[in-house]
Structure 1
Amino acid sequence: MSDWERSSTARVTAPARPRKLAKVPFVELADGRLQGVVSSGSDIGRVYVSSVAAGTYAFACSTNNNRPCGGARGSFCNHIRALINEAVLQYGAGRVSRYLRVETADGEPSAPSITAGMSDTRPPQGDTKAAAPVFSRFLRHLAYLELTPTTSPLPEMQWFPTTRAVA
């Protein structure tokens, strides 16, 4: 067993490039999907929960009140495109491409080639059942931003990974 497997902490992969969180405040590769929360371009009080399934590229996009996105009718909407772009910034194009199992036309994947590779297959409309847990995780992450800064330990945060290198 290696040192990191015996450790109570996990390594955190640094973002591939810095992201601006105003448009896509939450993005994750989890549960067999690229999923996250995308801000509305027209209403500051509205957000969309968007996702794309790995392998099938089934997509879903709905508001935080479970109203379907008007732009996600038969093809990726702008929210899903923004989610893919931010995932590439956060995780790198190679990792996103491998996770979603996208074959890109050119050798080096990029956000546009990943989107095109999935769009070429005519992805099916997915269900929005994943929206509630994704939005709930996003809200839980936001709650930590409201905590008063302190150096004392927070019991609920003890499971968080550390960026400290494990020897």
Structure 2
Amino acid sequence: MARVVPPARPRKLAKVPFVELAEGRLSGVVSSGSDIERVYVSSIAAVGHGFNCSTNNNRPCGGLGGSPCKHLRALADEAVLQYGIERVARYLRADVDPAANTGAELIRALTGGREPAPAALVFSRFLRHLTYLELPVTTEPIPELHWFPATGAAR
């Protein structure tokens, strides 16, 4: 049975609706501050700390240069809220002060530069998660979610 880890602190989903630690990357979807139709797929690699940010239609982020853009900074902030600084730093193999508790401190610990990343896979997983919001409320099992533990189930 898989253990569900509650968020370290509550998150507001409007700015960064999707954050994951998967496939050797901290990845997520970040809403655009200027266009409601646009989102950015941002990611940071665990090995080498290479980072990338592009729109949902694969256009590079205009703010991405030799250092992380505001979307990557927002992703780091939300990852710290979701998973806690210790878990994110351990996953990214980043040397962060144990007393640190913000995404900014995590970003400062990164040693990599701009690097291509698989944005389409992250965006696809995000869209798949959104489909679960459209399911009717039921207490019946959902076959593709069979690996989630039942609430209150014994270990």
TM-score by length of 2: 0.93
Q: How does 1:60-99 map to 2 (within 5 A)?
A: 60-99=52-91
Q: Which residue of 1 aligns with 2:140?
A: 152
Q: Which residue of 1 aligns with 2:108?
A: 116
Change (3 A) 1:101 1:141: same
Q: Which residue of 1 aligns with 2:131?
A: 143
SS at match of 2:109: helix
Q: CA deviation at 1:135?
A: 0.5
Q: Which residue of 2 aligns with 1:45?
A: 37
Q: CA deviation at 1:108?
A: 1.8
Q: Structure 1: where are the runs of 5+ without partners?
A: 1-8
Q: CA deviation at 1:109?
A: 2.7
Q: CA deviation at 1:17?
A: 0.4
SS at match of 1:159: coil
Q: How many residues align?
A: 154
Determine the C-alpha separation between the residues in 2 that align with 1:160 and 1:13: 12
Determine the C-alpha separation between the residues in 2 that align with 1:84 and 1:67: 21
Determine the C-alpha separation between the residues in 2 that align with 1:21 and 1:66: 22
TM-score by length of 1: 0.87
Q: CA deviation at 1:148?
A: 1.3
Counterpart AA for 1:149:
V
Q: Structure 2: where are the runs of 5+ without partners?
A: none
RMSD: 1.4
Change (3 A) 1:145 1:103: same
- Percent of paired sites with the same residue: 64
Counterpart AA for 1:108:
A
Larger radius of gyration: 1
8 Å CA contact 1:11–1:163 kept in 2: the answer is no
8 Å CA contact 2:18–2:126 kept in 1: the answer is yes
